[in-house]
Amino acid sequence: MAARSASERALEQTQDYGRFSSVDWVVDGRRERVKILRHEAQVQRLAAHMQEHGSLAWRELSSFASRLPFGDKLLYAMQALARGFSSLVGSMKAPLLATAENGMIILVGVLIGINMAIISVVTEWASDIKQGYCSGGWWLNKKFCCWEEMDPAGPGSAVPKGIAAVAAAAAGNINVTSIATATQTATKLSLRATEPTLPTNTCADWVEWGSWTLPSWIAYIAFSALLAFTSAALVRHYAPTAAGSGISEIKCVIAGFNIKDFLSNWTLVIKSLGLPLAIASGLSVGKEGPAVHVACCMGMAVAGVLHWLVPSQSKLREVLIASSAAGVAVAFGSPIGGVLFALEEMTTSFPSQTMWRTFLCALASTVALSFMNPFRTGKLVLFQVEYNRDWHYFEIVFFLLMGIFGGLYGEYVLRFNLQVQRFRKKHLSNYGVQEAVVLAIVTAMFCYFNRFLRLDMTETLEVLFQQCDGASDDEVLCQSRMQWSIADAPCITPGTYAMLGAAATLAGVTRITVSVVVIMFELTGALTYILPIMLVVGTAKMVADLNGKGGVADRTIKFNGYPFLDPEDHTYGINVGSMMTSNPGVLEVDSIVSQGTFRGFPVVNNEQDRTVLGYVERAQLRFAIRHAQATKTLHRDSY
């Protein structure tokens, strides 16, 4: 009874294998080589056919050329030209195929960048619709609705009204009073005025849902619940595989375990629609993880259309690795970081050809995203910042402390997350839509009264990552008069601590290092902060590994029971002979594999406990028996 209960527990922790299909990389490579040989044979037959049917025309042409003056030389030139053309066609076949494959990778990257730009725009609009709407155009978010009043020089110019007024006055467009007012404003900016006042809503085109708090609060909660319900219902009823981050499943797919419908076109559509709605609802979710899943779905869709360029699973694997890198690249605005993420997290096999195509896809996606310019600021992501101050050596102590806390936070958040997932899987698996709506309502009820919590996560990062000069109304979090600086000049940069804290937490949760450092560097563009980032990330990684092994993706794979081959070595402390069955029934097995028609057989624990332990092919069994008989290595008691 105890053994049976243990078996049942093992089965409960194992996924339904009907959803999976494995890839035999050896067989796949052999099939790809056979296809190449068949293609070359077809080309040779076509060339022979053309030569046979073209020989008559060639003889007539040669006969005509021989009757002309200098006929011998002309005939020799024609023959040399024919040989050169034939050689050129043969030598161009491989470059043309490589060009076509690279073109497909570029197409995948461009589509990923365009899709992420659309997701970013929809996310901002859906996030702002909870607070009001634009009377000049319902499709505009608050930033685009009010940019003429908030930013008179155009969206993203970041020119203060006072400076713009000075420029206009100098051109003779306004009176002396306006010049004086504008000059006073510019002087206050230059002196780093730090009045801690919140920006008021002076945009006439933006209409709030209510003129006082209660109606606005109710509308905010109602829209949050509606967005969460729509997102969860779409996933629940149309694409259940679109739920969650998707990185752990992508690792399994790249390793050779295909999951049914996980990379389907329907999953791509539903996740692209549901992701911005889920973020805008106020739920504590981000688009960075799901961006990898969406990108791989896009790569699979393009590979399905251009299937002649993806003749095998190994080629499809290259496309998926490149797509995952592009997903990280557009999520963080970090193309090199995306390539390193694919190398460090997604796969253990990274040939030079895969590296090149991964780089190409990440580059194409970021170029497309930059061209789309969804935020009208020239930034790839909203929280991209620039720091022009250096750090000080006394801050190293605080950097180390941040790394320690980041590692501890990452490890214990992972443990708590798995406990929550276990509870949800046991009690809430049939109430996914209701759970999302309740969480959105509770979150909206408390977040409405804090102006920073009302923002979506990307906009919050933009505020937190600021350098904090104290001259802007948006920098209420870091007013210079609240920093207790002894000197007039700023000493430290508060925004860098937010950035380093994010890096430490990310390293503690994911257990990746190099890609995190490069991503943070590409976000800030500050070469001087490479050392602090490396210090914080390395400390967080070491502290997290001392308390537990594996990042969030690896632990999610184990928790969900996905079929994933762990590259780590496991020591069990027993001999191989102790695990083998003595006195096997060889004759019975030989009879079954010789007369049966099955291609393989499941391997179970024993006749009473038929828990599936593995699978063995019929050909492998027959080979093992014949080899044992030929070498006389069978035990004398075998029957």
The residue among 590 and 299 whose pLDDT is bigger is 299
- Residue 136 has what DSSP assignment? T
Residue 469: DSSP 8-state: -
The token duo for 73 is 């030389």
Q: What is the CATH number of domain 213-560?
A: 1.10.3080.10
What is the arithmetic mean of pLDDT over 87-110?
A: 81
Does the pLDDT at position 105 exceed 60? yes
The C-alpha angle 462, 464, 470, rounded to 5 degrees, equals: 100
Amino acid at 399: F
Is 90 exceeded by the pLDDT of residue 534?
Answer: yes
Is a pLDDT exceeding 80 seen at residue 511? yes
Q: Between residues 533 and 389, which one has the greater pLDDT?
A: 533
- Confidence category of residue 522, pLDDT binned at 50, 70, 90: confident
> Higher pLDDT residue, 18 or 239?
239
Compute CA 340 distance to the chain's CA centroid, rounded to the nearest angstrom: 12
Q: Which of 315-329, 355-369, 573-587 has the lowest mean pLDDT?
A: 573-587
From 292, 353, 349, 354, select the one nearest 325 (Cα to Cα).
292
3-state SS of 566-624 is: CCCCCCCCCCHHHHCCCCCCHHHHHHHHHHCCCCEEEEECCCCCCCEEEEEEHHHHHHH
Q: What is the pLDDT of residues 167-193, one digit of tens each?
A: 444 444 444 444 444 444 444 444 333
pLDDT grade, residue 397 (50/70/90)? very high
Q: Please calculate the CA angle 19-299-339 and round it to the nearest 5 degrees.
A: 110
Strand partners, 616: 601
Model pLDDT, residue 2: 47
By mean pLDDT, which of 97-106, 230-239, 341-350, 566-575 is the weakest?
Answer: 566-575
**The pLDDT of residue 584:** 61
Q: Where are the alpha helices (DSSP H) in 373-480?
A: 396-427, 432-447, 457-464
pLDDT of 623 reads 79
The token pair that represents 283 in the structure block: 């739920």
Per the CB < 8 A criterion, the answer to whether 598 and 615 are in contact is no
Q: Determine the average pLDDT of the residues in 80-101.
A: 70
pLDDT for residue 155 is more than 60: no
The pLDDT of residue 193 is: 37
Query: What pLDDT sits at residue 153?
Result: 46
Give the residue with greater pLDDT, 578 vs 119: 119
Q: Check: CB of residue 297 under 8 Å from CB of residue 111.
A: no
Confidence check: pLDDT of 606 > 90: no
196-236 pLDDT tens trace = 334 445 578 888 887 788 888 999 999 999 999 999 999 99
**Between vectors from CA 213 to CA 209 and to CA 214, what angle results, nearest 5°?**
85
Token readout for 17 is 């294998």
Task: Give the pair of three-digit tokens for residue 596.
Answer: 């049966």
- 401-414 per-position pLDDT tens digit: 999 999 999 999 99
The pLDDT, as a whole number, for residue 72 is: 62
3-state secondary structure of 245: coil
**Domain 576-631 part of CATH 3.10.580.20:** yes
Give the pLDDT confidence of 463-489 residue by residue, as tens digits. Answer: 888 777 655 545 566 665 555 655 566
pLDDT at 156: 45
Using CA atoms, how far apart are residues 290 and 277, in angstroms rounded to an integer? 13
Q: What is the pLDDT of residue 194?
A: 37
Cα–Cα distances in Å, from 518 out to 292, 364, 482, 492? 18, 18, 32, 22
Outline where 483-525 has alpha helix (H): 494-510, 514-524
**CA terminus-to-terminus distance, the chain:** 32
- Rounded mean pLDDT of the chain? 78
Please tell me the least confidently modeled range out of 131-145, 303-317, 527-541, 606-620. 606-620
504-513 mean pLDDT? 92
Average pLDDT on 75-81 reads 63
Q: Are 629 and 590 in contact (CB under 8 A)?
A: no
